[in-house]
Structure 1
Amino acid sequence: MEGIFMYIRPEQIAEQYEMEVKSISKGRDCFLCETDLGMRALKEYRGSVERAEFLAGMLDFLKEQNIVAEQIFYTKEGEIFARDEEEQNYLLLSVFRGAECDTKSREDMVYAVRLLAGLHNATEQYPDEVPEFVKMNPNALLLLYEKHNRELRQVRNYIRGRKQKNEFEEMFMRQFAGFFEKAQAVTEQLQNMEICEELTGFCHGDYNQHNVVFSREGVAVVNFLNFSYQIRVSDLSNFVRKMMEKNNWNTSLGMELIGAYDSVRKLKPQELSYLYFYLAYPEKFWKIANHYSQSHKAWLSGRNTEKLSKVITQEGAREHFLQTLAGKVENRI
C-alpha cells in the first residue's frame, strides 16, 4: 500500500502544472517526470516562498546572461510551490540529460571552474537589490570552523575516556594533535581577517562534479537549492577540494584549476587568502570525526577506518599543495 501511495503522490503534485505527464520515476532526491515539454524534476523544498522566488528570478537572469542553468516553473495558479496532501512544498525544475563532470578528466574539471568563474561574473551584473534574508553572516566561515573545533574536541574527549578503543579510535587519537593544530591555526588566522563587501556575492552553494552536466543544450549548472550570498571563493574552494581529494591532492592539478578560474575572473588578493583558509582547514578529518560522533559507535564500519587512513596518507600531498598555494597568495599580495 505504501508503494502505491508513493506512486500516486508525485502524480497529484504534477497535475498542478501546465504539462502532460507521460511517466514518473524516482531520481536522486527528486521525482523525474517525462512530459510533453521535456524532462522535469519535482524536488521537495523546505525554504520560504521569498527565497524560492528570488532563486527563480536569479536563474532567469542567468539564462539571459547565456549561462545554461536549470529553471523553476510556476504552477497553473501562478504559485512558486506545488503542495502535496501533507502540505509539503515542491519545486518543478528543468532537467538536463548528459554526463556529469568527470573527476579524472582535467579537461572537464578545468571547464567546470571556468564555467563557475563565468557564473560569478554574470551574477555581479544582477541589477536588483539582494534581499537581506539571502545574505549570510560575514563571519560565517570563522563561526563554522570554531564549531568544528569544538566538535573535534568533544570527539577527542569521548574517545580518550573509553577504556577499550577500536582500531579507528586508536588511529584517531594518534593523529588528533597534528590535525587539530592545523585547524586551530586556520581559525586564528581567520580571526584577524576583515571581510570587504566586494568579496561577497551570489554563490551556487554546492558546486561539485555532480552539478555540472555536459548536455546537448550546453554545459549546464544544476541544483542551486543551497544557494547563498557569501564570499564567492567558497564555491571555488568546495569544487577544488573535492577534485583534489579525488586526485590525491595533485599540486599541478590544483594550481591549474585555480589558474583557470583566475583567467576568467581575476581573484583579488584577499580572495586568494580566503581560498587558502578554506582549503587549509582539515575538513575531511573533521567530517570523518563528525560521522563517528553521529554514528552508533559499536557498529562503526571498517569503511571509516579506511577513510581516515586515506586522509592520513594524503596529508603530505595536501601540505605540498598548500605550500604552493601560499606562495601564490604571497606573490599576489
Structure 2
Amino acid sequence: MGTAELKLVEKNYSIRIERIKQIKSNAYFVKTKDGKRYFLKVSRVDKEHVDFIIKIFSHLKNTSFKSHLIDFQKTIDGGFYFLDEHKKIYLLCKWIDGRSADFRNVFDLRRVVSVLYHLHLASLSFAEKIESSFHSSYQEVFRRKYSQVIQMKNIIHQKDDFSCFDKAFLKVLRRFEDRFVESIHMIKKVEDYFKEENQRVLIHHDPAHHNFIFSETGVYLIDFDYAMVDYSVHDFVNLGVRVLKTNDWDTNVFRIYLKCLDDKNIIKKFWLQTFWILMYFPQEIWQVGLQYYFEKQPWTEDYFLKRLKGAERIQAGKEMIIKKIAGGISKWH
C-alpha cells in the first residue's frame, strides 16, 4: 500500500499508523501509534453491494448473532467506509486474535455449522423484506450457466487455432457436459416442493475456513462480500465441498458433516434432494470457463489449466461422494 493510500486511511479514520502488514491481496494488519490493532480491507466490490453488507450488519447487530460479528470502525464523518478516487472501498475493523477453522477437526466443524445455522435463523426477517429482488430460482440459475457454457464452446469453435486451455476445456466438457442437462432436469422436479417447505435466508456464500475466526471470546464470521438472499442449502453445499476437499474426499468425514446438519434439524423435506442436485451441478467447471472466456482474468495459461484440472477433480469427487452416500444421482431422476 502506497503512502498516499496510508494517508487517506489515517485521515478518514483519525488514526496514526505505526505499522502495516499485508496479509492477503486486499487485506492488511494495522497497528497504530497508540497501540491499537485493526484489520483493514480494500475492496473493489461495488458501492451498492457494500451498502447491502452494511444493511446486513445493521440488522444482525440487533439479533443474537451479534456475538459472531466484528464491528466496523466508523470514519470521521460517521460512515462505515470511504472511497478513494479510484472508487476502491476501505473498511476498518477491530483486529481479533485467533485462528481459522480447521475442517479436519470435528469440534470446529460442529461450531462452523452452528454459526452458519445461527446466521440463517437470525436473518429470516431481513430476507423476507428483500428476497424478491435478490433471488432467481435454481432452474433459472442452472439454465443461465449452461447457456454460458454453450457460448464458451461457440467461442472456441470460432477460433482458427485452439489454445491449450481451449482443448482441455472441450475435453472436460465431453466428460461432464451432460451433468448440466441432468441437473436442470432434476431440479425442475423438486424445486417447487422444496420451496413449499423451506424459507429464504441470508447466506454467507463463501464459508471458507479462513472466514471463521476462533478466538478466546468466541467464533467470528467475517467477509460478507458474497452474501446474498437464498436458501440455507446453498451455504451448506458450499461448505460441504470445502470440507470434502480439506479431508481428501473422505466419505466418513462427510457422514459426520451430514450428522452435524441433522443434529441442528437443518435437513427438511426435499432439502436433501436439493442438496445433492446442487452438489452434482458442475459449478467449478462453469466458473473456470467463465473466468477464462468472459471475465478474461489476467492469469497465465498454466494457471488456468491448473484451475481446470482442479475443477475436474472436484466434479469427479462430488460424484463419487453422491454415489457412495446417496446411492447415485440416478435415484433423483
| TM-score, length of structure 1 as denominator length | 0.80
Distance in 1 of aligned mates of 2:318 and 2:198: 29
Distance in 1 of aligned mates of 2:257 and 2:307: 25
Structure 2 residues without counterparts, runs of 5 or longer: none
Q: CA deviation at 1:25?
A: 4.2
Count of residues in Structure 1 that have an aligned counterpart in Structure 2:
323
Q: Does 1:200 align with 2:203?
A: no
Query: Which residue does the alignment assign to 1:179?
Result: 176
Go from structure 1 to structure 2 and tell me whether the alpha carbon gap of 1:168 and 1:250 turns closer, same or farther (over 3 Å shift): farther
Query: Which residue does the alignment assign to 1:261?
Result: 261
Distance in 2 of aligned mates of 1:181 and 1:143: 17
Q: Is the 8 A contact 1:12 1:84 kept in 2?
A: no
Query: Counterparts of 1:242-281 in structure 2 under 5 Å?
Result: 242-281=242-281
Give SS of 2:171's match.
helix
Go from structure 1 to structure 2 and tell me whether the alpha carbon gap of 1:151 and 1:87 turns closer, same or farther (over 3 Å shift): closer
Give SS of 1:207's match.
coil
Q: Does 1:150 align with 2:177?
A: no
Go from structure 1 to structure 2 and tell me whether the alpha carbon gap of 1:87 and 1:305 turns closer, same or farther (over 3 Å shift): closer
The one-character-per-residue Cα deviations of 1:128-180 (angstroms, maximum 9, x if unpaired) are 785327852241x3333222212211222333444544544333323313311
Query: Counterparts of 1:30-179 in structure 2 under 5 Å?
Result: 30-35=27-32, 38-44=37-43, 46-48=46-48, 51-62=52-63, 64-65=64-65, 67-84=67-84, 89-124=89-124, 130-132=128-130, 136-139=134-137, 141-162=138-159, 164-179=161-176
Tell me the C-alpha RMSD between the 2 structures: 3.6
Query: Which residue does the alignment assign to 1:9?
Result: 8
With 315-324 and 261-270 compared, the bigger mean Cα shift is at 315-324
Go from structure 1 to structure 2 and tell me whether the alpha carbon gap of 1:98 and 1:135 turns closer, same or farther (over 3 Å shift): farther
Distance in 2 of aligned mates of 1:296 and 1:226: 20
With 269-278 and 242-251 compared, the bigger mean Cα shift is at 242-251
Structure 1 residues without counterparts, runs of 5 or longer: none
Q: Is the 8 A contact 1:288 1:304 kept in 2?
A: yes
With 6-15 and 244-253 compared, the bigger mean Cα shift is at 244-253
Go from structure 1 to structure 2 and tell me whether the alpha carbon gap of 1:83 and 1:184 turns closer, same or farther (over 3 Å shift): same
The aligned amino acid for 2:13 is A
The aligned amino acid for 1:58 is H
Q: CA deviation at 1:241?
A: 1.6
Go from structure 1 to structure 2 and tell me whether the alpha carbon gap of 1:70 and 1:324 turns closer, same or farther (over 3 Å shift): farther
Go from structure 1 to structure 2 and tell me whether the alpha carbon gap of 1:330 and 1:199 turns closer, same or farther (over 3 Å shift): farther
Q: Is the 8 A contact 1:112 1:212 kept in 2?
A: yes
Give SS of 1:131's match.
helix
Distance in 1 of aligned mates of 2:235 and 2:28: 27
Distance in 1 of aligned mates of 2:153 and 2:100: 38
Go from structure 1 to structure 2 and tell me whether the alpha carbon gap of 1:52 and 1:101 turns closer, same or farther (over 3 Å shift): closer
The one-character-per-residue Cα deviations of 1:233-260 (angstroms, maximum 9, x if unpaired) are 2111111122323444332222321221
Q: CA deviation at 1:181?
A: 0.5
Identity of aligned residues (%): 17
Distance in 2 of aligned mates of 1:21 and 1:297: 33
Q: CA deviation at 1:224?
A: 2.0
Go from structure 1 to structure 2 and tell me whether the alpha carbon gap of 1:101 and 1:161 turns closer, same or farther (over 3 Å shift): same
Query: Which residue does the alignment assign to 2:326?
Result: 326
The aligned amino acid for 1:51 is F
